[in-house]
Amino acid sequence: MRTIAIDAMGGDHAPKAIVEGVNQAIAEFSDIEIKLYGDEAKIKEYLIAKERVTIVHTEEKINSDDEPVQAIRKKKQASMILGAQAVKDGEAEAVISAGNTGALLAAGLFVVGRIKGIDRPALMSSLPTIDGKNFEMLDLGANAENTAHHLHQYAILGSFYAEAVNGVKQPRVGLLNNGTEATKGDPLRKEVFELLSNESTINFIGNIEARELLNRVADVVVTDGFTGNAVLKTIEGTGLSIFKALKKAIQDGGLKAKAGAYLMKDSLYGMRDMMDYSSAGGAVLIGLQAPVVKCHGSSQADSVYYTIKQVRTMLENQVVDKIVNEFSKERGQNE
Amino acid sequence: MRTIAIDAMGGDHAPKAIVEGVNQAIAEFSDIEIKLYGDEAKIKEYLIAKERVTIVHTEEKINSDDEPVQAIRKKKQASMILGAQAVKDGEAEAVISAGNTGALLAAGLFVVGRIKGIDRPALMSSLPTIDGKNFEMLDLGANAENTAHHLHQYAILGSFYAEAVNGVKQPRVGLLNNGTEATKGDPLRKEVFELLSNESTINFIGNIEARELLNRVADVVVTDGFTGNAVLKTIEGTGLSIFKALKKAIQDGGLKAKAGAYLMKDSLYGMRDMMDYSSAGGAVLIGLQAPVVKCHGSSQADSVYYTIKQVRTMLENQVVDKIVNEFSKERGQNE
């Protein structure tokens, strides 16, 4: 039995979406147990699952506009912090929250703790590609600044994850750069290119360009947190803008366009689903001593369910243990 | 009469697309004269315009895979270099090329020359927004690395351009960052935020996020060349991927989807046109002593025509003179 701690109070649709996701997951997986942290009365309104769910009542919670480090210092009884604390105390093996990303990162760092040998955990997420599959990208913004050494570690972390969780053999690891040639980029990229070229534990395929990301040119894409954040938000923003423009084109296009859209409905929905991030699970704060996973703030029940499923796979395949092993080897001595 | 030098041999569809674009521009604008650099016989195959066009024959040209600085040193007679040289010698007021971007940047820097007081020219382009308008973004990759001082200059350059060429009064200048709060970002962004907040010549509206770019939250978006390049390529790549996925959804959707797509044809084309960059003109290497403008390598005649139109507007509104004036003022003394 695997025990997962879940912050019931984080995100735009909490606790409803969170608890409904838990209902689905408990019905589907008989080998997990869930500890829900938050307002007991409100949680009970939505809780259907009768077994393997415990509610740990608390009235405190971290808001989306709370300053992260202040919040985790002052709100010791917040649902998110109690979840992280449960992991630290060995009462749960992983923690999930759809709340304040900065606070979850801080809780991950200061409560759950880094893996020895990892300097700075990264935010990593599965992004969908046009062939209906996906790739892992990191760092998506856990850090505003990164060194070449950090990116070197991210390449290894991402590769371990893609192999253990997505089942990709020898995942192709690419470095996001402003050109594909080996000599491209700023000094940071050039240094990382050199480090990854000499890294025997991964299958480094060289530089890749942002234009090719959604064509699945790599299984793991490594970049610094500032660029990763900008690229992720650009993908989301461009996708949203195009669908908004499509909707407007249909509305302005008169009866003919509306009839056309009606006939194309299934195809358009299929395409939207393909671009939908929710089935890909949450963003993993990788490099911590246990899975700490962030659901999107706007998550509905489905997306919470998929995140629980993803965490279950991470636990089953012992991805954290594998990373701990790798970084406690000769690597640890280089520090 | 304004004289514009054009590299007839650059880009994927040269010289056909270039010369056809020139034909259109000469027919449309009676106040411009064009000097075409390249293979005379090949140019003549497509040239219809009978007046105000001079061909300067040369057999040398810079290829897309030439190393930029080497190319401009060794290929002194290349069509692109002769065009830049014409600007330096006062025989033309601006130069356009659809060829090797790095070589055009090098030719701009070493042949045309920087404006006094500008440290590093930037690549700036108009990007389309979902309301059918556009915004200017810089640097899109002229530099792999930028200092806060560079970005400060880009904010002023972009603001002058948006006002003079796009006719925007007090253009809203935004800094691309990983959050909208004033305290966000890496040390570079924080320093730029401070500089722009104290810059009285521009209308600085603060930080903006990549997710909002296509919603026209700013008229000018300032970023470093590495991030700008990644964001631009992500917009292009995401757009292309979505249209590819839409096409596939229609093909796989059977007769119903195909009939729907047929009815929606006009709306879909309208949307594609809205996302089309060609009518927005070329990318300007801003900060040089004359307009040096890069057409997209895959430019067709239309896009060449719009770039000529854009350069004509730049010359008419004396955007370079205005920048020279601004940077020769008190600013020059700070250096």
Q: Which among A276, A285, A313 is positioned nearest to A134, based on CA atoms?
A: A276
Section A123-139 average pLDDT = 91
- Cβ contact, residue pair B215, A241, below 8 Å: yes
- Cβ contact, residue pair A185, B144, below 8 Å: yes
- Chain B partners of A239 at a C-beta cutoff of 8 Å? 238, 242
A212: nearest CA partner in chain B? B237
Report pLDDT for B274. Answer: 62
Diameter over CA atoms, chain A: 70
Report pLDDT for B276. Answer: 63
Sequence spans of domains, chain B: 1-118+287-335, 119-281
Name the band, by pLDDT with cuts 50, 70 and 90, for residue A245: confident
- Mean pLDDT taken over chain A: 91
**B69 min Cα distance to partner chain A (Å):** 14
CA gap A179, A189 in Å, rounded? 11
The CA–CA distances, whole Å, from A195 to A37, A148, A151, B78 equal 42, 8, 9, 39
The CA–CA distances, whole Å, from B242 to A184, A193, B179, B186 equal 28, 30, 26, 32
A131: nearest CA partner in chain B? B245
What are A191-216's pLDDT values in tens digits? Answer: 999 999 999 999 999 999 999 999 99
CATH for the stretch B1-118+287-335: 3.40.718.10
Are residues B41 and B26 in contact, defined by beta-carbon separation less than 8 angstroms?
no
Interface ipTM > 0.85: yes
B274: nearest CA partner in chain A? A245
Of A212, A237, A271, the CB nearest to B237: A212
CA gap B52, B64 in Å, rounded? 29
What are A71-104's pLDDT values in tens digits? Answer: 999 999 999 999 999 999 999 999 999 999 999 9
Of B178, B234, B261, the CB nearest to A260: B261
Sign of CA dihedral B27, B31, B37, B40: positive
**A147 min Cα distance to partner chain B (Å):** 12
Q: How many CB pairs under 8 A join A and B?
A: 184
- Chain A partners of B207 at a C-beta cutoff of 8 Å? none
The CA–CA distances, whole Å, from B64 to A211, B68, B75, B105, B320 equal 18, 9, 13, 13, 28
- Chain B partners of A263 at a C-beta cutoff of 8 Å? 256-257, 259-260, 263
Same fold, A1-118+287-335 and A119-281: yes
Report pLDDT for B333. Answer: 45
Report pLDDT for A277. Answer: 62
Residue B294 has φ and ψ, to the nearest 5°, of -100, 115
Structure tokens at B133: 């308008």
- Cβ contact, residue pair A271, B242, below 8 Å: yes
CATH for the stretch B119-281: 3.40.718.10
Structure tokens at B204: 């600085």
Of A130, A230, A257, the CB nearest to B231: A230
- Chain B partners of A210 at a C-beta cutoff of 8 Å? 229-231, 233-234, 237
Section A172-178 average pLDDT = 97
- Cβ contact, residue pair A275, B214, below 8 Å: no
CA gap A76, A74 in Å, rounded? 6
Diameter over CA atoms, chain B: 70
Are residues B229 and A186 in contact, defined by beta-carbon separation less than 8 angstroms?
no
- Chain A partners of B277 at a C-beta cutoff of 8 Å? none
Higher per-residue pLDDT: A263 or A319: A319
* Residues of chain B below pLDDT 70: 270-279, 330-335
- Cβ contact, residue pair B230, A231, below 8 Å: yes
CA gap A167, A169 in Å, rounded? 6
- Chain A partners of B215 at a C-beta cutoff of 8 Å? 237, 241
What are A27-45's pLDDT values in tens digits? Answer: 999 999 999 999 999 999 9
At B291 the three-state DSSP class reads coil
Of B214, B256, B263, the CB nearest to A257: B263
Interface test with B, best of A178, A221, A224, A238 (most B CBs within 10 A): A238
What are B254-309's pLDDT values in tens digits? Answer: 877 788 777 777 777 766 666 666 667 899 999 999 999 999 888 899 999 999 99
Q: Determine the length of chain B.
A: 335
At B294 the three-state DSSP class reads strand
**B311 min Cα distance to partner chain A (Å):** 27
Q: Which among A228, A95, A311, A285 is positioned nearest to B231, based on CA atoms?
A: A228
Higher per-residue pLDDT: B233 or A276: B233
Read off the amino acid at residue A16: K
CA gap B41, B8 in Å, rounded? 12
Structure tokens at B78: 């290349």
Report pLDDT for B332. Answer: 47
Of A186, A230, A267, the CB nearest to B178: A230
- Cβ contact, residue pair B233, A145, below 8 Å: no
Percent of chain A residues past pLDDT 90, beyond the cut: 76
Residue A297 has φ and ψ, to the nearest 5°, of -60, -30
Report pLDDT for A275. Answer: 62
Percent of chain B residues past pLDDT 90, beyond the cut: 76
Name the band, by pLDDT with cuts 50, 70 and 90, for residue A188: very high
